[in-house]
Structure 1
Amino acid sequence: MSKSYRTKTRMMSILHITLTLTLLFSLLANAEAADEFYRDISPTSLGLHKEKLTHLRFYLHDILSGSKPTAVRIAQAQSTNTSSSLFGLLVMTDDPLTVGPEPDSKLVGKAQGMYGFSDQKEIGLSVIFNMAFTEEKYNGSTISLLGRNMVLSAVREIPIVGGSGAFRFARGYAEARSYTLDGQTGDAVVEYNLYVFHY
Structure 2
Amino acid sequence: MYGHNPTSVKVAEAAQTNTSKTYFGSMFVMDCPLTTLPNIGSKRIGYAQGMTASASQTELGLLMILHFVFTEREYNGSTISILGRNLVFENVREMPVVGGSGAFRFARGYAEGKTYSLDVKSGNATLEYNVFILHP
Equivalent in 76, 80, 83 of residue 143 of structure 1: 80
Larger Rg: 1
- Are 2:116 and 1:179 aligned? yes
Equivalent in 22, 25, 28 of residue 88 of structure 1: 25
Q: Determine if contact 1:167/1:198 at 8 Å carries over to the other structure.
A: no
Q: Which structure shows the higher helix fraction? A: 1
- Are 2:41 and 1:104 aligned? yes
Q: Percent identity?
A: 53
The whole-number CA distance in structure 2 between the counterparts of 1:137 and 1:125 is 32
Q: Cα offset for 1:197? A: 2.2
Equivalent in 165, 168, 171 of residue 105 of structure 2: 168
- Are 2:36 and 1:121 aligned? no
Q: TM-score, normalised by structure 1?
A: 0.67
Q: Determine if contact 1:169/1:198 at 8 Å carries over to the other structure.
A: no
The whole-number CA distance in structure 1 between the counterparts of 2:86 and 2:135 is 23
Aligned residues: 136
**1:27-46 alignment runs, 5 A limit:** none
The whole-number CA distance in structure 2 between the counterparts of 1:127 and 1:94 is 13
RMSD, aligned α-carbons: 0.9
C-alpha distance after superposition, 1:89-136 (max 9, x if no partner): 000010111111221111011111100111101111000011101112
Relative contact order (alpha carbons < 8 A, sep ≥ 6): 1 or 2 greater? 1
C-alpha distance after superposition, 1:44-94 (max 9, x if no partner): xxxxxxxxxxxxxxxxxxxx0102000010000010000000000000010
State the SS of the aligned residue for 1:147: strand
Q: TM-score, normalised by structure 2?
A: 0.97
Q: Which structure shows the higher strand fraction? A: 2
The whole-number CA distance in structure 2 between the counterparts of 1:169 and 1:156 is 22
